[in-house]
């Protein structure tokens, strides 16, 4: 079946560094991917919509200069957390839409846990 | 704007008993409704969805959900709970194809043996 992968699954970094998280659709092309953020025991909050070949659309309250999104190909979207701080520590989850005829299915990646020290 | 409400933070049931996890929604158009489950430190697993058709939707692991348009609800049910069903359950909605899912806050299901 369709799979969405994320890399890395875990990352620990020092405050002030930048971290790049990759989201790949492994056996389908995805023109649209989404990035979510989840705090412990809380819901998934949509951060942005990533469209291949164009700028990402950010949700209200999400700093686009802080969370850089690049969707350079139909199978890869990246989220870069710039100048990370401890409050950026969270679980980041991507999802990708697969279109097959009239059927649309949204697949989620396994998530990336970021810990900023 | 779309929204999803899961009124219960936690649901406790005994193994073998039926379970219900509640969800109500608000959308401007026709709803696309979903249930996902999340185990600790894991990603989301798809359980079932309602787009159109029968109001009763059957999904993975014996779960089902009933779409009730008049009550704007999409409660998740299972006739006989298993201890292994203990997890965090999310209801999600969107109002058109190709858009992001909006998630409820989640309900922790605890099934005791």
Whether the per-residue pLDDT at A105 is higher than 80: the answer is: yes
Portion of chain B with pLDDT greater than 70, in percent? 100
Question: Which phi and psi (to 5°) does residue B24 adopt?
Answer: -125, 155
Give which of B62, B51, B73 is closest to B18, Cα–Cα.
B62
Mean pLDDT of the region A45-73: 92
> What's the pLDDT band for B16 if we cut at 50, 70, 90?
very high
CA angle A62, A67, A70 (to 5 degrees): 120
Pair of tokens at residue B51: 């787009």
Partners of A113 on chain B (C-beta within 8 Å) are 41
Is the peptide bond preceding residue A3 cis, with omega within 30 degrees of 0?
no
List B24's β-bridge partners, or say none: B5, B73
Q: What digits encode the pLDDT tens for the residues B30-50?
A: 899 999 999 887 778 889 999
Is the peptide bond preceding residue B82 cis, with omega within 30 degrees of 0?
no
Q: What digits encode the pLDDT tens for the residues A9-20?
A: 999 999 999 999
Portion of chain B with pLDDT greater than 90, in percent? 76
Q: What is the mean pLDDT of chain B?
A: 93
Whether the per-residue pLDDT at A1 is higher than 80: the answer is: no
Of A41, A44, A97, the CB nearest to B103: A44
Partners of A108 on chain B (C-beta within 8 Å) are 36, 43-44, 46
Q: Are A31 and A104 within 8 A, CB to CB?
A: no
- Do residue B43 and residue A110 have CB atoms under 8 angstroms apart? yes
Choose between A89 and B52: higher pLDDT.
Answer: A89
């Amino acid at each position: 079946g369709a799979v969405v992968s994320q890399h890395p699954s875990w990352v620990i970094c020092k405050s002030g560094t930048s971290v790049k998280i990759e989201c790949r659709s492994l056996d389908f092309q995805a023109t649209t991917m989404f990035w979510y953020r989840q705090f412990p025991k809380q819901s998934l909050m949509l951060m942005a919509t990533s469209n291949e070949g164009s700028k990402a659309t950010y949700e209200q309250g999400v700093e686009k200069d802080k969370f850089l999104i690049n969707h350079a190909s139909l199978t890869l979207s990246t989220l870069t957390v710039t100048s990370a701080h401890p409050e950026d520590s969270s679980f980041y989850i991507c999802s990708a839409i697969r279109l097959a005829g009239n059927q649309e299915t949204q697949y989620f990646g396994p998530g990336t846990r970021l810990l900023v020290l | 704007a779309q929204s999803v409400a899961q009124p219960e933070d936690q649901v406790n049931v005994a193994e073998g008993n039926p379970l219900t996890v509640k969800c109500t929604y608000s959308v401007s158009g026709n709803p696309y409704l979903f249930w996902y489950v999340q185990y600790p430190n894991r990603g989301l697993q798809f359980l079932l969805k309602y787009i159109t058709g029968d109001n009763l939707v059957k999904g993975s692991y014996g779960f089902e959900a009933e779409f009730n348009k008049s009550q704007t609800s999409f409660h998740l049910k299972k006739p006989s709970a298993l201890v292994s069903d203990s997890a965090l359950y999310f209801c999600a909605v969107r109002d058109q194809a190709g858009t992001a899912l909006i998630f409820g806050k989640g309900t922790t299901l605890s099934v005791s043996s």
